[in-house]
């Protein structure tokens, strides 16, 4: 038995090293700049390697068919939502990811399903830079941060709707400008480009690992910064 364990130990170490190498490569890939169909596939595979379930989203379109490939003439979020496949199909299987972005819909926006392994909370873009400065000034650590033309999205550890409800119920007031991307939700990942514009990392995942804060640790700062403008007046949301 001891000889067998000694023989297997190098294989285990090699397997662990390979997993770490794949994880590091995924983190580097997530930070790459947008621009090609290949980058969409690379970003989708990188997210899947980190355990983030992904799927291709509808694409922004032009012409009589409407502003979005979903065919809805009044689509409120052109090129920024699940359509076909539906959100429930989100996966971390690299074979499925490759088939989607290589054969079915090359260059499609990369959407990440929230709730299983990652969630998010977002604020209006106008408050985003001040929010990051507030957290930096108070020493509260943040995880990866995304930006769309209208929102800053802070990735956080998974939470349930019940847990979130209890946290919010403890607060005297919570600004309506805050949005929560939890179970049953989704968000776009770079290099996606929706009808509203591009998506980019403000703070990309670190190469030494993806750490996600608990939403409870960020809620006070989110409320404080999203409530008021720099001059002390209330934000018009």
In whole angstroms, give the CA distance from residue 233 to residue 211. 34
Handedness of CA 165, 167, 171, 173 (dihedral sign): negative
pLDDT top residue among 64 and 231:
64
Count other Cβ atoms within 10 Å, centred on residue 2.
6
Per-residue pLDDT of 219-228, as tens digits, reads 988 888 877 6
pLDDT top residue among 23 and 68:
68
pLDDT of residue 232: 44
Tell me if 165 sits within 8 A of 183, measured CB to CB.
no
In whole angstroms, give the CA distance from residue 187 to residue 52. 11
Count other Cβ atoms within 10 Å, centred on residue 18.
10
Per-residue pLDDT of 33-65, as tens digits, reads 444 678 999 999 999 999 999 999 998 877 655
In whole angstroms, give the CA distance from residue 58 to residue 63. 15
Burial class (CB in 10 A: 0-12, 13-18, 19+), 64: exposed
pLDDT top residue among 123 and 13:
123
Per-residue pLDDT of 130-166, as tens digits, reads 999 999 999 999 999 999 999 999 999 999 999 999 9
Tell me if 51 sits within 8 A of 23, measured CB to CB.
no
Residue 197: pLDDT above 70? yes
Angle, vertex CA 14, rays to CA 12 and CA 15, nearest 5: 65
Average pLDDT estimate for 212-218: 94
C-alpha to C-alpha distances, 42 to 5, 39, 85, 160, 195, nearest whole angstrom: 37, 5, 19, 30, 22
Cis amide bond preceding 96, omega within 30: no
Eight-class DSSP state of 206: P
Kindly report whether the global pTM for this prediction surpasses the value 0.75: yes
pLDDT of residue 210: 85
Per-residue pLDDT of 54-96, as tens digits, reads 999 998 877 655 688 888 888 888 888 999 999 999 999 999 9
| Distance spanning both ends of the chain, measured CA to CA | 67
pLDDT of residue 77: 85
Q: How confident is the model at residue 17 (pLDDT cuts 50, 70, 90)?
A: low
Q: How confident is the model at residue 109 (pLDDT cuts 50, 70, 90)?
A: very high
Tell me if 81 sits within 8 A of 186, measured CB to CB.
yes
């Amino acid at each position: 038995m001891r000889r067998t364990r000694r023989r297997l130990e190098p294989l285990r170490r090699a397997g662990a090293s390979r997993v770490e190498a794949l994880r590091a490569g995924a983190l580097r890939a997530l930070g790459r700049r947008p621009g090609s169909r290949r980058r969409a596939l690379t970003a989708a595979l990188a997210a899947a390697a980190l355990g983030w379930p992904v799927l291709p989203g509808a694409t922004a379109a032009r012409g009589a068919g409407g502003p979005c490939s979903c065919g809805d003439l009044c689509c409120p979020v052109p090129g920024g939502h699940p359509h076909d496949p539906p959100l429930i199909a989100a996966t971390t299987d690299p074979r499925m990811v490759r088939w989607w972005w290589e054969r079915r819909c090359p260059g499609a926006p990369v959407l990440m399903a929230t709730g299983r392994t990652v969630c998010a909370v977002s604020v209006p873009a106008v408050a985003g830079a001040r929010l990051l400065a507030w957290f930096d000034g108070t020493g509260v650590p943040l995880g990866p941060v995304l930006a769309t033309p209208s929102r800053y999205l802070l990735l956080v550890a998974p939470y349930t709707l019940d847990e979130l409800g209890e946290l919010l119920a403890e607060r005297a007031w919570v600004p309506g400008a805050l949005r929560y991307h939890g179970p049953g939700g989704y968000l776009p990942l770079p290099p996606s480009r929706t009808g509203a514009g591009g998506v980019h990392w403000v703070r990309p995942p670190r190469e030494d690992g993806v750490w996600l804060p608990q939403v409870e640790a960020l809620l006070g700062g989110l409320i404080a910064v999203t409530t008021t403008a720099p001059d002390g007046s209330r934000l018009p949301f």
